[in-house]
Amino acid sequence: MPAITDEVEYGARGTLGLLVPQANTTAEPEVQAMLDTDIALLTGRLTSPQPEMRERLQDFLSGMDGFISTFANAPLSGLGFLITGSTYHFTPAQEDAHFEQLSTRYGYPIVSAAQSIRRAFTCLGAKRIGLVSPYPEWLTEKSVAYWKRCNVEICAVEAPETPGGFHNIYMMRNDSVLSAAKKLLKHKPDLILLAGAGMPTLGPIMTLADLGMPAISSNFCMAWQINQMAKGALDQTVALRKLLEKDAMWRQRLIERFPGVQPK
């Protein structure tokens, strides 16, 4: 584990960066709730002037250097790229190579959301996955194709109800996500993946764990990876399994800040 440092006042175990889509209202509250003590998180926005999601997803990836530059010379120990849709066109090897190049260029680990999920699959030995997808049909298809290239089976896909509003994904509620996830239980997956960094997931993950079904999400896995970046061990299985336990410390932190997420 890296030594405690007094380089800055906050973040004795590391100052980490997180890049999230420009209007995302979900990723930061969920990741922050799951952070270990003495880790400081600085968040930057992935921005694009494009009105269509396809083009924005491309801009988020192609503009990485510019987005990283907004952190200037902050003493980052690592950085997370918290959006999956921008990397679904990659093979796993291509994605790993792309982010390894970025990591080498900046001198600290840079991890994508999909990489963090793939690492979780490996740590948990999950091969048969139930998918909750909040995406439009074209992006769900890209998501399923990506996960199949990762040598896992997508046994079934369910979509939560979309309430509309300023953005379909960001307006979703825990109840609709959980309802979609419960429909997957009859397929007996090893694990349920709640896709999309903008969809609320920690409440459903708590309830599903209480039902005996492990579930993960982009935000959940990225929080695990950020905690591990601060410890210098990105693939630590023990830490991931602890986050999935019913008495995981993040649960109480989340409920204290956002009482409405408490499982009913």
Best mean pLDDT range from 51-55, 94-98, 246-250, 257-261:
94-98
> Among 55-59, 82-86, 209-213, 260-264, which is the least confidently predicted range?
260-264
Can you give the pLDDT at residue 49? 96
d(C-alpha 230, C-alpha 39), whole Å: 7
Can you give the pLDDT at residue 261? 87
- Concatenated DSSP letters for 145-192? HHHHHTT-EEEEEE------SS-TTTT--HHHHHHHHHTTGGG--SEE
Can you give the pLDDT at residue 169? 73
Higher pLDDT, 64 or 261: 64
CA angle 179, 88, 19 (to 5 degrees): 85
How far is the CA of 152 from the CAs of 122, 147, 189, 190, 220, in angstroms?
A: 10, 6, 11, 10, 19
| Mean pLDDT score, 67-91 | 96
> Among 4-13, 179-188, 242-251, which is the least confidently predicted range?
4-13
| Mean pLDDT score, 186-205 | 95
Does the pLDDT value for residue 2 go beyond 50?
Answer: no
Does the pLDDT value for residue 101 go beyond 50?
Answer: yes
d(C-alpha 160, C-alpha 172), whole Å: 8
How far is the CA of 30 from the CAs of 125, 130, 215, 217, in angstroms?
A: 24, 21, 15, 10
Can you give the pLDDT at residue 163? 66
| Mean pLDDT score, 126-155 | 96
Can you give the pLDDT at residue 162? 74
pLDDT by residue (tens digit) across 146-178? 999 999 999 999 999 876 544 567 678 889 999
Query: What confidence tier does 233 reach under pLDDT thresholds 50, 70, 90?
Result: confident
Can you give the pLDDT at residue 242? 94
Residue with tokens 């239980």: 185
Query: What confidence tier does 210 reach under pLDDT thresholds 50, 70, 90?
Result: very high
| Mean pLDDT score, 88-116 | 97
Looking at domain 15-261, which of 3.70.10.10, 3.30.420.10, 3.40.50.12500, 3.40.50.300 is its CATH number? Answer: 3.40.50.12500
